Structure 1
């Protein structure tokens, strides 16, 4: 990769995080008025159409994109991501964007912690220390003695755990399947799973909210497209740290469009979590370079 490509990849990742933050804001708006499962279902319909269109454009078409020797794991990944999206959107409704994303930011630490038992990777004492510091930051956010802590705090934490498992399973299937195959299974199986749950919750929407739903569908596909392009332009280790920008972007939307507040403990805890996460990414990159 040239430095120019790396720089372009970083800017694409920044754009991706801004798009996903906007998507989260729209999801919160719609989920406050309509059933979460219905909103996610419609979003997945558009996402599946986008995935199928992308697969059809490449050599081998849909048959090649769907070919895998790990169908059960691929299908489980797709279902897991649907469940994670539903839970995270519920978190937006009950906790808000600021606090949900502050807790969700721990998912790279969960990936690092679980990479040993799931993928057999070695996690050294430095990364374990960073994981411990990150979870201390999460306790600062949650403040079990009062603060943000409530039963709803479990929602973004559960979503982070599910997304971490999804990420680890994506790395696992990548040992045999291409990224295009994993992307295809994520979209198609996800749409089926979202429909099986969401079709029972259908309710009429206003014309204006159908407009917002259309924007949500476009941002979902646009975000995945720019994410793919970011990884094409630069190494994952170069662009991944910038994925944390979704936290401040989504927080700004929560603060200025939804009237949320930013508590001092949330800001401090989120800064600790992000710092610990960036350190684990740096250590992972160092280990990869050493080998």
Structure 2
């Protein structure tokens, strides 16, 4: 796309629409997880996503070319991590509201920062370490361990955030050697192959109404990824990255519309702390990157 046809504002709108698609997808998962096993839901999602990844790769560089990875072991491992994280998140939605899940899960950028010195050989200064620690305090305000309101399921989104953070770190590593089409097709194919045996063994025949929800669940995932790809064609990732925190806002809105669920004061306070720390860490990373240039 030529520079004159690019529009950062359009990119931001597309990104926000993508995030909304993913949150509505989570809402449909929450509706379905009551009667269906998480692996069955994830399997159906991955069948559709694998088809999308194949079409995307075929149009970009060709399927055979996209399968040629310089780090296939790492590609397979990161793909397995993502399918595991999606299943964990689905299980969490059985017990927790959308707002609570996303308010804790949004810790993942701070966890990436904490992993960076050890896995990416990146230097993390004292200010960012303090920001990570304060972010964890915010997460524990939401989870409230030790209080009468604490439930062990509240730890699920934090565990999912750790898994997703590791996936992000590995994605950064493979991005140095492999093209995006390669990473995408590995995600689709490895995930589908890995989850299918579990999904079939836990299969429960969906009702007529459930098939509509499953169709929406799978379609929204593809729509979300397509919107993100289009968004990145209009605006750089550095511009779109802060918008990820608005998923919490979407989660509150969709949680209220679908489930009449509003977050507690603790969830709001903790989420504000986590988001503030995440944005500050992002600002420090960008500032240091500019100084290095």
Instruction: Say yes or no: TM over 0.5.
Output: yes
Q: 1:85-104, CA deviations, whole angstroms, 9 ceiling, x for partnerless residues?
A: 00001111111212111110
Indicate the residue corresponding to 2:246 in structure 1: 245
Task: Provide the residue aligned with 1:186 in structure 2.
Answer: 187
Query: Is the contact made by 1:237 and 1:281 (CA closer than 8 Å) also made in structure 2?
Result: no
**How much has 1:15 moved relative to structure 2?**
0.9
Partner of 1:12: 14
Q: CA deviation at 1:259?
A: 2.7
- Matched with 1:75 is 76
Q: Deviations over 1:226-264 (max 9, x none)?
A: 112222221111110001111111122222321323110
Residue 231 and residue 4 in structure 1: after superposition, are their counterparts in 2 closer, same or farther (change >3 A)?
A: closer
Unpaired runs of at least 5, structure 2: none
SS at match of 1:32: coil
> CA separation of 1:148/1:191 partners in 2, compared to 1, >3 Å: closer, same or farther?
farther
Contact kept? 2:67, 2:185, Cα under 8 Å: yes
Deviation at 1:3, TM superposition (A): 10
Residue 34 of structure 2: aligned partner: 32
Distance 2:236 2:49 in 1: 25
Q: Secondary structure at the match of 1:155?
A: helix
The alignment status of 1:48 with 2:50, answered yes or no, reads: yes
3-state SS of 2:34 partner: helix
Cα drift, residue 153 of structure 1: 1.5
Partner of 1:125: 126
Larger deviation: 130-139 or 2-11? 2-11
Q: Paired residues, what number?
A: 290
For 1:161, the equivalent position in structure 2 comes to 162
Q: 1:252 to 1:124 in 2, by over 3 A?
A: same
1:141–1:148: 8 Å Cα contact kept in structure 2?
no
Gaps of 5+ in 1: none
Aligned partners of 2:95 and 2:113: how far apart in 1? 28
Distance in 2 between the 1:48 and 1:150 partners? Answer: 35
Residues 173-206 of structure 1: per-residue CA shift (max 9 Å, x gap): 1110111111111111011111122110011111
103-112 vs 224-233, which moves further: 224-233
TM-score (norm 1): 0.96
> TM-score normalised to the size of structure 2?
0.95
- Superposition RMSD on alpha carbons, in Å? 1.4
CA distance in 2, matches of 1:112, 1:149: 27
Task: Give 1:177's aligned residue.
Answer: 178
| Aligned equivalents of 1:119, 1:28: Cα separation in 2 | 35
Counting only pairs closer than 5 Å after superposition, residues 1-291 of structure 1 correspond to structure 2 as 5-59=7-61, 61-146=62-147, 148-291=149-292
Change in 2 beyond 3 A, CA 1:128/1:187: same
> How far is 1:283 from its partner?
1.3
The CA deviation at 1:172 is: 0.5
Distance in 1 (alpha carbons) for counterparts of 2:64 and 2:291: 38
